[in-house]
Amino acid sequence: MALQPDNAHIPPMPAAASRTLVGLEHAMCLTDEVAPFSVVSVLRLAGALSAATLRTALDALQRRHPLLRARLQKEGKAYVYHFGVSVPIPLDVCERAQPDSWRAATEDELDRRFDQTTGPLMRCRYLVDKDGGDVIITMPHHIVDAESAAHLFGELLALCAGHTLDDTVDTTQEGQTPAPALYPKEFTGLGYVRAVAGMMGRQMADEMSFRWRSRGVRKAPIFETGRCCVLPVAYPAALTAALVQASRRQRVTLNSMLSAAMLQAVQRRLYPSPRVPLRHIIFTDMRSRLRTSVPATILGCFLTMLRFTVLVEREGNFWDLARAVQASTVRSARSGERYLAFSMSPDMMKMIFSMKAFRMGATALSYAGPLDFPVAGASFEVTGVHAFAANMTLGPEYSALIRLFRGELCWDILYLDSDMDAVLAQRIADDIRTILESATC
């Protein structure tokens, strides 16, 4: 059942307001042409939240954020935001048949394409029963990152609880300024050209080394189609605390620690060779690394994707691997590759799509850190939060979005049914946990 807005009037922006997408934003649009590329988030609620209240909150949220009043138009080879869409955010309300019905609904959303040319760039599905409900929110990845998504959901929940949002927050320029316009000065002009030349040299050397060390090693298959499947996993507070302590004791970031465990587990299950070079992808925030910091109150894609190669040994030491992962991320950060990767990603994706010769990586991980949604005085409580970024058959074989929620480390794992079945996906997840438990000893 689609619930119509209480107030469909949305103040329009000037009809001429538009902006061309660049860098990773553009690359995400190219990806969406090949396979639906969205972020699907789930807010699990206990208690009472009426569909009418949710509808009113969505309308208020849309009035607040220009990117929720935008559409995407392809103009030649470019993709352009046009602001001023007056169509309300779609809200589909359904009865929740089972407590875990959200999982199948999420997979459906990941497989369902947006009509971005009409807008708006968000849709909502509400599965509800007498005990609570699951609010499933789908957005194209180019309008949102982890920081802004968390703030956006906090605003939505506050509105659902009847709170008034801070009216001093200025969102009028949302969507107007892409990340490259805010790069540090040393990564603009000739500085950018020199940095790109250095990065290309490093990538060529890495590619040659990767091919040499990959001789005789399993090559990840590329299938014509594949459907996204989700696997949520949560570690209890005691294990989570032990992992954090081990990370500090070994002076290795939690991100590097989790990445190493994923790489080891995937190598054990998918790559039979004793020593394998694997490519790992991490997503890192740029909001605080720009010339002008971009607050989480502003929607937009201010993250970047970094890919590097790590040699994974079946009998190797876990902490050595974690330190190798960390060293790779530090080198990337010091050389400014977060900026270069953002800007160069369209050309990289075009090459990948045209060649169809290799997968982007074996694994991908994004760690968002602590997350909490306390809503004072609400008739409902947030009992769980999930988020999944869609994948494609040229993407990584095993990926996860991870966060700390209520003291628990929550993994939202995603895989394709063409790569593996649910049994194998669970075995890899179990191996990751076993590896991490051993690392705490």
pTM: 0.93
Give the CATH number, domain containing residue 102. 3.30.559.10
Q: How many helices (H) and strands (E) does the chain have?
A: 10, 14
Residue 2: inside a domain, yes or no? no
Residue 51: inside a domain, yes or no? yes
In whole angstroms, give the CA distance from residue 409 to residue 368.
11
Residue 220: inside a domain, yes or no? yes
CA neighbor of 301 nearest in space, from 115, 143, 127 = 143
pLDDT of 236 strictly over 50: yes
Residue 1's pLDDT band (boundaries 50, 70, 90)?
A: low
Mean pLDDT (the chain) is 93
SS (H, E, C) 117-145: CCCCCCEEEEEEECCEEEEEEEEEHHHCC
203/413: higher pLDDT: 413
Same domain, 217 and 365: yes
Residue 4: inside a domain, yes or no? no
Same domain, 215 and 280: yes
Q: How far is CA 116 from CA 41, 42, 113, 149, 345, in A?
A: 18, 21, 9, 19, 21
Q: Mean pLDDT lowest for which of 63-67, 119-123, 215-219? A: 215-219
391, 392, 396, 401: CA torsion to nearest 10: 0
The pLDDT of residue 140: 97
The pLDDT of residue 206: 86
pLDDT of 204 strictly over 50: yes
Max distance between CA atoms of the chain, in angstroms, equals 63
Give the total number of structural domains in the chain.
2
Same domain, 216 and 90: no
Q: What is the pLDDT of residues 251-264, one digit of tens each?
A: 999 999 999 999 99
81, 187, 369, 175: CA torsion to nearest 10: -20
| Torsion sign, CA atoms 151, 107, 89, 293 | positive
The pLDDT of residue 13: 43
Same domain, 253 and 294: yes
The pLDDT of residue 2: 58
Residue 10's pLDDT band (boundaries 50, 70, 90)?
A: very low
Asked whether the beta carbons of 286 and 342 are under 8 A apart, the reply is yes
Two tokens at 274?
């004793």
Query: What range does the domain containing 146 cover?
Result: 18-163
Q: What is the pLDDT of residues 374-401, one digit of tens each?
A: 888 889 999 999 999 999 999 999 999 9
Note every long-range contact of 417-423, with CB atoms under 8 Å and residues 24 or more positions apart, other chains counting: 417/226, 417/227, 417/229, 418/223, 418/225, 418/226, 418/227, 418/393, 419/220, 419/221, 419/223, 419/226, 422/229, 422/231
Residue 179: inside a domain, yes or no? no
Residue 211: inside a domain, yes or no? yes
Contacts of 114 (CB under 8 A, 6+ apart): 32, 36, 38, 121, 123, 138, 140
In whole angstroms, give the CA distance from residue 414 to residue 427.
13
The pLDDT of residue 7: 44
The pLDDT of residue 209: 86
Q: What is the pLDDT of residues 262-320, one digit of tens each?
A: 999 999 999 999 999 999 999 999 999 999 999 999 999 999 999 999 999 999 999 99
pLDDT of 4 strictly over 80: no
Asked whether the beta carbons of 78 and 184 are under 8 A apart, the reply is no
Asked whether the beta carbons of 255 and 403 are under 8 A apart, the reply is no
Residue 168: inside a domain, yes or no? no
């399993």: which residue's tokens? 218
Asked whether the beta carbons of 87 and 118 are under 8 A apart, the reply is yes
Q: What's the whole-number mean pLDDT along residues 361-368?
A: 96
